[in-house]
Amino acid sequence: MSTGRYREVRLGGRGLRVRVRRNRRARRISLRVQGGEVRLTLPPGASEAAGLAFLKSRGDWVEDRLREAPAPVPFLPGEAVPFRGRPRRICVVPGLRDPLRLEEDRIMLATAAGCERLVEGWLRREARRAFEEAVARHAASLGVEPGGISMRDQKTRWGSASAAGRLNFNWRPIMAPPFVLDYLAAHEVAHLREMNHGPRFWSLCRRLCPETDAAERWLKAEGPGLHRYGREPVGAEG
């Protein structure tokens, strides 16, 4: 898939900056909106003119998404990204020996080159480490043995447990306060005993994580905001 180029398009009486990309695996023209950016993806054989016509035909949808979507926060120098519930400013520190270092309220980088990939990779590794620690602790409390842990980036789920005992977690809760990640680990470990959401399941959750109810409230109110960071577009296809 190409990185794309930007086009200025008139839509709804105003100028709109649109990122146009080609994807050889795409089967149809698609639109995605992330904050103030509109992304138009073209499959093989589709002309840019056809793509722009599709964009204009979906003008009302695009305008609605632009009004609804919070501004994205890319992993770039100068931006503040939450880590373990506290905002950390990304900054470049020339001469830094490590590629990335966390210090107080700063995520320090040796260079801005590859910044987004570096920061996201670091967050994913920290998420895995934190989930592995929390899962091991809760599993020991219940006397169960997980079948493994996987990290994902799902749009609508924070975690899941398979019948084989494999636990899957979204990496983004590493940006939330620690009790939220701890609850998610406890939730999935509890499923190793109770593959349902009945009273016994919730009793296990609250036993493992006394802040279960507070974490549920936090995820409902604040969880969607975690998808502002990095990339998490919403889309339409034609």
**Per-domain residue ranges of the chain:** 5-69, 80-113, 120-228
Helix (H) or strand (E) holding 36, with range, is none
Q: What is the pLDDT of residue 36?
A: 61
CB atoms within 10 A of CB 223: 17
Taking 50 as the pLDDT cut, the residues of the chain under it are 1, 232-235
Cα diameter, the chain: 63
Sheet with 100-103, strands from edge to edge, namely: 80-83, 86-92, 106-109, 100-103
Q: What's the pLDDT score for residue 32? A: 87
Q: What is the pLDDT of residue 237?
A: 52
Q: How many residues does the chain have?
A: 238
- The Cα–Cα gap between 184 and 205 comes to 9
pLDDT of 235 reads: 46
9 Cβ neighbours under 8 A, 6+ residues apart: 15, 16, 17, 18, 52, 55, 56
Q: What is the topology classification, in CATH, of domain 120-228?
A: Zincin-like (3.30.2010)
Provide the whole-model pTM.
0.71
